A and B are shown apart, each in its own frame.
Chain A
Amino acid sequence: MSASGTDPALPLEIHDLTVAYHKKPVLYGIDLEIPAGKLVGVVGPNGAGKSTLIKAIMGLLPASSGWVKVFGKPYRESCHRVGYVPQRESVDWDFPVSVMDVVLMGRYGRLRLAQRPTRHDREIARECLEKVRMLPFANRQIGNLSGGQQQRVFLARALAQESDLYLMDEPFVGVDAATETAIITLLRELQSRGKTLIVVHHDLSSVREYFDMLVLLNMRLVAAGPTREIFTQEILQATYGGRLTILSDVAQAIGEGG
């Protein structure tokens, strides 16, 4: 642990973070450091506070105690270096905007008040759509897309943010196999360019394959570290408690990876 707590090279540092919903704590005393260039999976049972952790990092939910530093500064001062992929169901897909409009929103953080996206912004948005192979859909209304296509649009929007740290909330939920492969390929490419990615994930069977670091969460931080060290039966049992159906999944996941 860095003693000063303000290491500017550290993408994310969390100290004693507690978050409550309606006065009921959902995250207790989280201490966490994420080094640069990692592809990190945030894993835990339903209600473990995975999304809450992501939102609390960005200040979307108020912390009851503790602090978060992003690249050594409070979030607000570093927000232009953070890209966010919210859960797909968090927005209304009947909204009257095109795919291009949504991706351009990723550029808004770089624009001044009342400033319109420039030609350069549109160029970048087009490149990002190309990367997720959604460029032919640029002028489609977003409601006419499949779940996987919608997720790719969200990913393209995050790419357009040109960030150093990406926070992604369940990007693999409800997508087809082709999209899942496309997303993980893209995440690895971002990682190879030195970006740090923190991804909420629920499918234990793919954890070992996808992530090189894990954060195991169940209201408290159960463990954080390299996947091969902490993705063990013992720690998963501590994370998921005595939930038998999940434990059999765990056994299978470990068996496959083993």
Chain B
Amino acid sequence: MIKFEHVSKKFGKKQVLDDMNFEIPDGQFVVLIGLSGCGKTTTLKMINRLIEPDEGRIYIDGKDIEKVDKVELRRQIGYVIQQIGLFPNMTVAENICVVPKLLKYDKESRDRIVHEMLDMVNMPYDEYAHKYPSEMSGGQQQRIGVLRAFAASPPIVLMDEPFGALDPMTRETLQDEIKKLQKKLNKTIVFVTHDMGEALKLADTIIFMEDGKIVQMAPPETMLENPANDNIRRFLGKHMNDDAVTLTVEDFMRTNIITVDKHRGVRECTERMARTGVDTLLVVDESDKYIGTVSIKDIRLRGKNEKLIEALITDNAKTVRRDGDAHECFDHLLNSGDNYVVVLNNDDTIAGIVTKNSMAKALSDTLWGDER
């Protein structure tokens, strides 16, 4: 856990940080965001003591970091910067192993770390380990910059606008990778950015700063729903819905759906499919609870010897609750290739389904009104 207690800092006459107080629990992805000069980078650099506070204390796991040797402290904290800062005189493998080497790991463990790290981002060891940074693209270099920070498995990793200098495509990929890495390795990450899209995508908690103070510290959804002031609202800009409600699945679902009892015959079902022009039926049990789906494909493949559809039911379809987050549901529809998502009431009965069509219709209703 990282804890700031009444931390203040002046550069000359300018008050950069003004009585900062906050806590970051373990395993959180925290993003510091704000305009340049708001003190976010200063805050970050205080955690590994690249900058010392004028007043106040900073604790990591209850220990006042002022009492820990600087160099030792930094070896326990990963650090990624925008300028990447790979050592040009060292190979990729040597760069990754800088901190393990400082911590006097033996050669075998260092070798193993390089293998594991490169594996994690799908960069083949044989191809990359012995390259020099100059032989790689900016994106690949920063990937190594990130791995280098994780190499000695520090509980905390600090990132100072790490993807700010990369092109948008590479940035997206690296964002996905870092989020995956963080979940997998369960690290506390403190991340500085001025890109709200990036913050919303990565953060468990966003800390919005202004003139050296925290204006709002909240999870992304809360910030979207309830921005503390106009500056945050401006920052959120296009990411924010005007009426500031999180859209739930039920706003987008279709309710006139065809369900069928699991004790129905196969022939009857094929007929119903033909009549209504669908290729899948939702199956319920005697108390109307959803149990799965049956598709025309399954019937064709395996239905010849079956009387009842019960034997042909599969439960591969994605299900969501009717008050679930619509965004996630959309992502699934757009990315998975599934044609529909089943929406359930809290008692497991079927509320409806969301299809690309129902999604598009609901969106057009929101944009242009119901009458169209």
Specify whether A and B are partners: no
* Chain B residues near A (Cβ < 8 Å): none
* Chain A residues near B (Cβ < 8 Å): none
